[in-house]
Amino acid sequence: MARVPLTLGVCALALGLAATGCTTSGDETGGKDGGKKVKVSIATSSDPTSLDPQLGTVAADFVFARMLDDQLVRRDDKGKIIPGLASRWKADAKSAEFTLRPDAKYTDGTKVTASGVAKVLTRFADPATKSTAASQVFGPGAKVTATGDDATGTVSVKLDKPWSDLLYGLALPQAGIVCPAALDKPELLKSGKKGAGTGAYYIESAEPGARYTLSAVKGYTGWATYKNMPEGTVPDVVEMPVIQSEATMANNLAAGTLDYAAFTGPDVARFVKNDKFTITPAPIVRMMVVFNERKGHPGADAKVREAVAQTLDRKAFNRAVTRGSGTLMSSITDASVPCANKDESLLAKPDPAAAKDVLKGMKIKLVGTNAVASGSGNEYVQAVLKAAGAEVSLRNADSATWGNDVISNKGDWDITVLPNLNLTNLLTTPASLFAGPGPADGGRNFPGTHNKDFEQGFGAAMATTDQSAKCAAWDKAQKALLTGFDVVPMATVNLNYTTAARISIAAPDGLLAPETVRVVAP
């Protein structure tokens, strides 16, 4: 069990013959018996790009989504699907039916209705919403029908083509259920304030670039049931200062002005063998080099992609980013994920001399995030490409800017070092980044990849629930992606959850569950 602080947010709704409402009235949560409020402070490395969970693209978005909104289902310590807003469910590759918990409520205490949830899911799946997560949850280009029966409290989801990971997709933070009335109030939805979500916390105040203050929802009952659930007091207030520098995070943590931070770089060493802190490493950041394959960019040419792959050495990259502590990857995720490729013969062998013939004099725009080890992986890629004769401009951007420019494909970029947060620990999550429509059309395919053999294997994997058949299909898909040099696998990076002794938090299946934060000591 790890230690830390985070939380969620709640709202109200009544549909059908009654009016839809998510009011902002009701009691504020305070300390027990009117006493002093219990507060914790946790760091976020960037502002969220959106507080609408369906539009989230970067790590900060996912953290806030877990705090502000509940999902229909969750994943437990072993990766098993467990209750969220739904108490029970049944599903196959093309449909799912959920029965809502009778005590599920929105922020103002109004009961959650099935028709309201269906409205939110319909909007989520609508291409007009332009949610890059929709294809990850429902499948690329899927047509989704969501209906709700308020009399029985059941929500039905039907797909026009199979997507065998539907349940896992609906457990993602991007599938958080917001208040349906907030869909008609864009400013409320964007604010995360009381009346916007369905979790345990809501945003009391926000100072972008500085801090966010979250307040607990009084009477919240939707806690998860993990095996290793933290004990202690639910904090009334969670302060989230925005701190880009891991060195600054470490200073504040050591000074006692911060209760939690996550480190990817060497600053975590300050808290090793210190009984005042708990460090829980999780290798959930999977690093890979990805190309913009659209016309007019160098990556549109497979020979260029192969040449770039020939400049890269996974071991050298691992040393540069993790000092050798990461695990080398041979696919779009690491070998711990079911069906992941382990055949390293599919990877390009480092050959800088051969790469020079293709890359000499080529202008390349490398855009990466500085959120992982201060961008050292980006600097490594720039150095080896320059050594091969390319003219490489590097922009080390903060996570929010990188997410907007690269993941949402709104900026000018040729290559990026992708730190993929595989929140499902399945191949589906990274694979959906390379198939289907791009961000402008509501998809996740930010590189503009068009690999028919990969798409066929991907589709076959998602059409079956038989594990042997699924792995066979995944083998075909991964081989096509790797031999087409659409992606160059590098190494995993540990995200070191580091928390003060007064805080406890769960990290089921290696993934931080911020809404479980508890204060275990004054």
Q: What is the pLDDT of residues 375-432, one digit of tens each?
A: 999 999 999 999 999 999 999 999 889 999 999 999 999 999 999 988 788 899 899 9
Question: Is residue 418 situated within a structural domain?
Answer: yes
Q: Which residues contact 365 (CB under 8 A, 6 or more apart)?
A: 392, 393, 395, 412, 413, 414, 415
Question: Is residue 9 situated within a structural domain?
Answer: no
Torsion, Cα of 348, 490, 366, 245 (10° steps): -170
The residue segments making up the domain with residue 116 are 32-245+502-519
Residue 309 shares a structural domain with residue 239: no
For the record, the structure tokens of 283 come out as 């290798």
Question: Is residue 1 situated within a structural domain?
Answer: no
| CATH code of residue 410 | 3.10.105.10
Residue 462 shares a structural domain with residue 509: no
Instruction: Tell me how far apart the alpha carbons of residues 333 and 188 are, in angstroms, rounded to a whole number.
Output: 37
Question: Is residue 268 situated within a structural domain?
Answer: no
User: 31: pLDDT confidence band, cut at 50, 70 and 90?
Assistant: low
Residue 313 shares a structural domain with residue 369: yes
Question: Is residue 265 situated within a structural domain?
Answer: no
Directed axis angle between helix 314-322 and helix 376-387, to 10°? 140
Residue 313 shares a structural domain with residue 441: yes
Over range 450-469, report the average pLDDT: 94
Residue 217 shares a structural domain with residue 349: no
Average pLDDT, the chain: 89
Instruction: Tell me how far apart the alpha carbons of residues 413 and 289 are, in angstroms, rounded to a whole number.
Output: 13
C-alpha 27 chain-centroid distance: 32
Under a CB-based contact definition with an 8 Å cutoff, are residues 389 and 423 in contact? no
Residue 109 shares a structural domain with residue 234: yes
Residue 482 shares a structural domain with residue 506: no
Residue 433 confidence (pLDDT) above 80: yes
Residue 240 shares a structural domain with residue 292: no
Q: Note the pLDDT of residue 29.
A: 38
Q: Which residues contact 492 (CB under 8 A, 6 or more apart)?
A: 283, 284, 285, 286, 287, 326, 327, 329, 334
Residue 51 shares a structural domain with residue 112: yes
Comparison of pLDDT for 26 and 275, the residue scoring more: 275
Residue 512 shares a structural domain with residue 477: no
Question: Is residue 15 situated within a structural domain?
Answer: no
| CATH code of residue 230 | 3.40.190.10
Residue 199 shares a structural domain with residue 153: yes
Collapsing DSSP to helix, strand or coil, 322 comes out as: helix
Question: Is residue 102 situated within a structural domain?
Answer: yes
Which ranges constitute the DSSP H helices of 328-451? 352-359, 376-387, 399-402, 428-431
Instruction: Tell me how far apart the alpha carbons of residues 117 and 176 are, in angstroms, rounded to a whole number.
Output: 10
- pTM here is 0.76
User: 354: pLDDT confidence band, cut at 50, 70 and 90?
Assistant: very high
The domain total for the chain is 2
Question: Is residue 270 situated within a structural domain?
Answer: no
